[in-house]
A = this chain, B = another copy of it.
Amino acid sequence: MSVLIVGSTALDSIKTPTKENPRLLGGSASHAAVAASFFSPVQLIGVVGEDFPKKYLELYRKHKIDLAGLQILPGKTFHWSGEYEVNMNNRRTLATELGVFETFNPTLPKSHQSTPYVLLANIAPALQLHVLDQMKKPKFVVADTMDLWLNIALKDLIKLLPRLDGFVLNDSEAQQLTQEDNVFKALKKLHKMGPKYVIIKKGSHGSVLSSPKGLFICPAYPLNTVEDPTGAGDSFVGGLMGYLAQTKGSVDANIRRAMVYGSVTASFCCEGFGLNRTTKTTRADIEKRVKELEKFTKF
**Taking the nearest CB of chain B, how far is it from the CB of A244, in angstroms?**
13
Q: Which residue on B lies nearest to A220, using beta carbons?
A: B217
User: A93 an interface residue at 8 Å Cβ cutoff?
Assistant: no
Known contacts A205-B202, A215-B296, A217-B219; A86 and B224 CB within 8 A of each other = no
User: A204 an interface residue at 8 Å Cβ cutoff?
Assistant: yes
User: A226 an interface residue at 8 Å Cβ cutoff?
Assistant: yes
User: A214-249 CB contact bits vs B (8 Å, 1 = yes)?
Assistant: 111111001111100000000000000000000000
Q: Give the residue of B208, B214, B225, B256 whose beta carbon is less than 8 angstroms from that of A299.
A: B256
**A222 x B226 contact (CB < 8 A):** no
Complex interface: chain B residues within 8 A of A217 (CB): 206, 219, 222, 293, 296-297
Give A253-267 interface residues, CB cut-off 8 Å to B: 256-257, 259-260
Q: Give the residue of B86, B182, B204, B256 whose beta carbon is less than 8 angstroms from that of A183.
A: B204
Task: Please classify how large the interface on chain A is, using the bins under 10, 10 to 19, 20 to 34, 35 or more.
Answer: 20 to 34
Q: How far is the CA of A297 from the CA of B297 in the complex (A)?
A: 8
User: A279-298 CB contact bits vs B (8 Å, 1 = yes)?
Assistant: 00000000000000111111
Known contacts A205-B205, A219-B217; A184 and B295 CB within 8 A of each other = no
User: A139 an interface residue at 8 Å Cβ cutoff?
Assistant: no
User: A35-51 CB contact bits vs B (8 Å, 1 = yes)?
Assistant: 00000000000000000
User: A185 an interface residue at 8 Å Cβ cutoff?
Assistant: yes
Complex interface: chain B residues within 8 A of A252 (CB): none
Complex interface: chain B residues within 8 A of A296 (CB): 214-217
Q: Which residue on B lies nearest to A175, using beta carbons?
A: B87
Give A105-129 interface residues, CB cut-off 8 Å to B: none
**Taking the nearest CB of chain B, how far is it from the CB of A86, in angstroms?**
7
User: A181 an interface residue at 8 Å Cβ cutoff?
Assistant: yes
Give A65-95 interface residues, CB cut-off 8 Å to B: 86-87
Q: How far is the CA of A284 from the CA of B37 in the complex (A)?
A: 46
Known contacts A86-B181, A181-B87; A299 and B226 CB within 8 A of each other = no
**A224 x B184 contact (CB < 8 A):** yes
Complex interface: chain B residues within 8 A of A259 (CB): 299
**Taking the nearest CB of chain B, how far is it from the CB of A149, in angstroms?**
24
Q: How far is the CA of A185 from the CA of B223 in the complex (A)?
A: 9
Q: Give the residue of B184, B218, B257, B293 whose beta carbon is less than 8 angstroms from that of A222.
A: B184
Complex interface: chain B residues within 8 A of A222 (CB): 183-184, 208, 215, 217
Complex interface: chain B residues within 8 A of A202 (CB): 205
Q: How far is the CA of A284 from the CA of B297 in the complex (A)?
A: 24
User: A146-184 CB contact bits vs B (8 Å, 1 = yes)?
Assistant: 000000000000000000000000000000000001111
* Chain A residues within 8 Å of B, Cβ to Cβ: 86-87, 181-185, 202, 204-206, 208, 214-219, 222-226, 256-257, 259-260, 293-299
